[in-house]
Amino acid sequence: MSTVALSATAPANDPSFANVWDELEWRGLVQVSTDRDALRALLAGDPITYYCGFDPTAPSLHLGNLVQLLTMRRMQLAGHRPLGLVGGSTGLIGDPRPSAERTLNTKETVEEWVGYLRSQVERFLSFDGDNAARIVNNLDWTAPLSAIDFLREIGKHYRVGTMLKKDAVAARLNSDAGISYTEFSYQILQGMDYLELYRQYDCVLQTGGSDQWGNLTSGTDLIHRVEGVHVHAIGTPLITNSDGTKFGKSEGNAIWLDPEMCSPYRMYQFWLNTDDADVVSRLKVFTFLTRDEIEGYDQLVASEPFRRAAQRRLAREVTAFVHGTEATDAVIAASEALFGQGDLGTLDGATLRTALEELPHATVRRGTPVVHALVETGLVSSLGEARRAIAQGGVSLDGAKVDDDAAVVTGALPGGVSVLRRGKKTLAGLFADDAD
């Protein structure tokens, strides 16, 4: 098996699985579901319509949402029809968090974020062919509905006792914060979404995170009560690290899908730093590599973990899926050049600047002595330490060793930057400023 891919794998299901349901289970994407046998038969049959919802609680989707987008894409590749729901109405309410009430955003903010999320969801699904995706906004059917009609037509089908037992609601009831009627009603709104999509598009399956199971079954129960039919739901597992730490953050910051909020370089480095104990499960969930390919990487992790071949493939695949092959190639070149495996002078300027923003960095004037730049970036704590590091031959600027402490910052690399190195692996970025 080749350990280096020249380009990312095109989205495709593994042909070794006769049914997409079997592949979803093998990849660990089914934590909880309605009737498994019925779902397996349903997904093996004629094309069905299914949906997943994304609420605009932020201006970008994140890695947790990417699990859902990949799950949707796998089912679309099997011939089924996806509906990507952007929550213009549910985003105004917010699903209950375990600890406290959400801060309600303004209608203008939610509307703006709906546009951002819609464009992101559209990037990951196909809008061509007989099973083309469709984007819907639940504000379209919620906004015209009066409070009286909502209570008569939807609310009468819900039992408060059942609603109180939902995990998210129960957790809040047992907390000091309690829960408002607004967030308590969220599950009714999501249930109404499923009912509306069933009626409009014959939608019979909803996917979401397992922490949303109460909201998912709100819809299946409502449709059964109102329409007398059984529909389905799949809850994917919440991704956690093997050491118990929270997945999806780097240095305390979320990994967003918007490149303005999380650069392709930062995303690539996030996946590159995946622990050996987690990398195979990440390949299953976040890539389209086949079972045979992933099992090959599993063997490499066991026999040659120092090569980190699985992590490199994972980082390439996910970054390319989210940001495209061209951006991924650029960040890989920057990553390799920064750590001595390429020519810094040939890099794309914008990518290099973005990469350096992830390192210790400082803005200095061109002509600033390197000894001062070492202190400014925090690579050393004093000018005396900087001079000793240079005298010992342990400092380089833009890939060339600094021979004396009279050397100055040039900002000669693409993008008007310089790269300062102390020792073999300690790097810092310098952003050259021509101002007086």
Overall size of the chain counted in residues: 436
End-to-end CA distance of the chain: 56
Question: What's the whole-number mean pLDDT along residues 333-354?
Answer: 89
Query: Is residue 349's pLDDT more than 70?
Result: yes
Write down which residue in 310, 343, 376 finishes a domain. Answer: 343
By C-alpha distance, which of 22, 130, 14, 16 is closest to 79? 130
Residue 436: predicted pLDDT: 47
Residue 23 included in any domain = no
Residue 31: predicted pLDDT: 97
Residue 261 included in any domain = yes
Residues 91 and 224 in one domain: yes
Residues 394 and 424 in one domain: yes
Which range is least confidently modeled, 195-204, 215-224, 334-343, 361-370? 334-343
CB of 56 within 8 A of CB of 102? no
Query: Is residue 343's pLDDT more than 60?
Result: yes
Residues 62 and 179 in one domain: yes
Query: Is residue 297's pLDDT more than 50?
Result: yes
Residues 259 and 214 in one domain: no
Residue 5 included in any domain = no
Residues 149 and 208 in one domain: yes
CA of residue 86 relative to chain centroid, distance: 16
Residue 302 included in any domain = yes
pLDDT (tens digit per residue) in 50-96: 999 999 999 999 999 999 999 999 999 999 999 999 999 999 998 88
Query: Is residue 98's pLDDT more than 90?
Result: no
By C-alpha distance, which of 78, 88, 70 is closest to 125? 70
pLDDT (tens digit per residue) in 387-413: 999 999 999 999 899 998 889 998 999
Tokens for 88, please give them.
């213009």
C-beta neighbour count of 407 within 10 angstroms: 17
Residues 180 and 85 in one domain: yes
Residues 165 and 231 in one domain: yes
CB of 57 within 8 A of CB of 114? no
Contacts of 118 (CB under 8 A, 6+ apart): 84, 86, 135, 137
Could you give the percent of the chain with pLDDT greater than 90? 79
Residue 389 included in any domain = yes
Query: Is residue 6's pLDDT more than 60?
Result: no
Distance CA 296, CA 310 (A): 9
Residues 166 and 200 in one domain: yes
Write down which residue in 343, 364, 382 finishes a domain. Answer: 343
One-letter amino acid of 82: P
Query: Is residue 354's pLDDT more than 80?
Result: yes
pLDDT (tens digit per residue) in 166-222: 888 888 888 878 899 999 999 999 999 999 999 999 999 999 999 999 999 999 999
φ, ψ for residue 418 (rounded to 5)? -135, 155
φ, ψ for residue 129 (rounded to 5)? 85, -175
Mean pLDDT of the chain: 93
Contacts of 46 (CB under 8 A, 6+ apart): none
Residue 200: predicted pLDDT: 98
Sign of the dihedral defined by the CA atoms of residues 386, 387, 392, 394, in that order:
positive
Residues 186 and 40 in one domain: yes
By C-alpha distance, which of 198, 220, 190 is closest to 48? 198
Residue 303 included in any domain = yes
CA of residue 187 relative to chain centroid, distance: 24
Residue 10 included in any domain = no
Write down which residue in 343, 365, 380 finishes a domain. Answer: 343
pLDDT (tens digit per residue) in 242-252: 888 778 877 77
pLDDT (tens digit per residue) in 130-152: 999 999 999 999 999 999 999 99
Query: Is residue 5's pLDDT more than 80?
Result: no
In this structure, are strands 400-401 and 395-397 parallel, antiparallel, or unpaired?
antiparallel
Rounded to a whole number, what is the largest CA-CA distance in the chain? Answer: 82
- Note the pTM of the prediction, 2 decimals: 0.91
Residue 7: predicted pLDDT: 60
Q: What is the CA radius of gyration of the chain?
A: 26
Residues 66 and 150 in one domain: yes
Residues 279 and 379 in one domain: no
Distance CA 88, CA 48 (A): 25
CB of 346 within 8 A of CB of 325? no
Task: Kindly state the DSSP code that residue 392 receives in the 8-state scheme.
Answer: T
Distance CA 237, CA 64 (A): 10
Distance CA 197, CA 22 (A): 26
How many domains, in total, are found in the chain?
3
CB of 125 within 8 A of CB of 73? yes
Residues 47 and 95 in one domain: yes
CB of 271 within 8 A of CB of 313? no
CB of 354 within 8 A of CB of 263? yes
Q: What is the CATH number of the domain that holds 49?
A: 3.40.50.620
**Confidence grade of residue 1 (pLDDT, cut at 50, 70, 90):** very low
CA of residue 72 relative to chain centroid, distance: 14
Task: Kindly state the DSSP code that residue 3 receives in the 8-state scheme.
Answer: S
Contacts of 119 (CB under 8 A, 6+ apart): none
Q: What is the CATH number of the domain that holds 362?
A: 3.10.290.10
Residue 15 included in any domain = no
CB of 195 within 8 A of CB of 222? yes
Segments forming the whole domain that contains residue 105: 29-236
**Residue 54, beta-bridge partner list:** 86
Residue 243: predicted pLDDT: 83
Q: What is the CATH number of the domain that holds 329?
A: 1.10.240.10
Task: Kindly state the DSSP code that residue 408 receives in the 8-state scheme.
Answer: B
